Structure 1
Amino acid sequence: MSEPMILALTALAQTTRLQAFRLLVKSGPQGISVGSLAEQLNVPLSTLSRHLNQLQQGQLIKTWREGRHVFYATDWAGTGALLNYLTEDCCQGRVDLNTVCHNLGENQS
């Protein structure tokens, strides 16, 4: 298993990080401000910052600043790489699963 995949899976293996990631996926490309994310998760900003850092290290989210506000959104390149890694061997000859795996990749681009 490659190091980036280990980092991504490790980042998702914690409740708050998984909840944050799911909210960011739902938010789309516009993302969510860090303050709003902390409020929705009911987590202090300092704690959330550590969790978001791990998701960034796993290449699952990206961040940017607009004035005084910091935003986070899903990094679809990293998330897509993880999905591809997890599904690359899932279909091995099974036509019924091949469509599912193919659709997963298309829906994330």
Structure 2
Amino acid sequence: MSDRHVTTDDSWAPDACTLPTPERPLRLAEFDQFFRDAVQGVDRLSAQHLRLQLDGAAQVEETARDLTAREQSCCSFFAFDIARPGPDSLTLDVRVPAAHVDVLDALAERATSVRGPR
């Protein structure tokens, strides 16, 4: 993944985030970079379930696993599932309880806007 166009604008991150404030801009920049480089499609399967279609490269899977593990350590309400439905495809399912649908809304909006048209 490249480091072009990294942003530290944290206005999209919901208040439910428990990551210490000094670490937030870096994590948000990591998500932006991941969305920009790896996300090929964004599907909202339900109010509580988002599926990101990812580039199938091994490095993308490694980055997704690392980033989601770190995110779940500070925001335990997230449930992440990474699957490889085919040899060249990768999906990242993100689920939240009903009380945190606004967090998933923000994540979906950010993934869509940062990845741009494909």
TM-score range for the pair, normalised by the shorter chain length: 0.3 to 0.5
- Relative to its length, the structure with more strand (as a share) is 2
Bigger Cα Rg: 1
**TM-score normalised by structure 2 residue count:** 0.34
- Relative to its length, the structure with more helix (as a share) is 1
**TM-score normalised by structure 1 residue count:** 0.36
| Greater relative contact order (Cα < 8 A, sep 6+) | 2
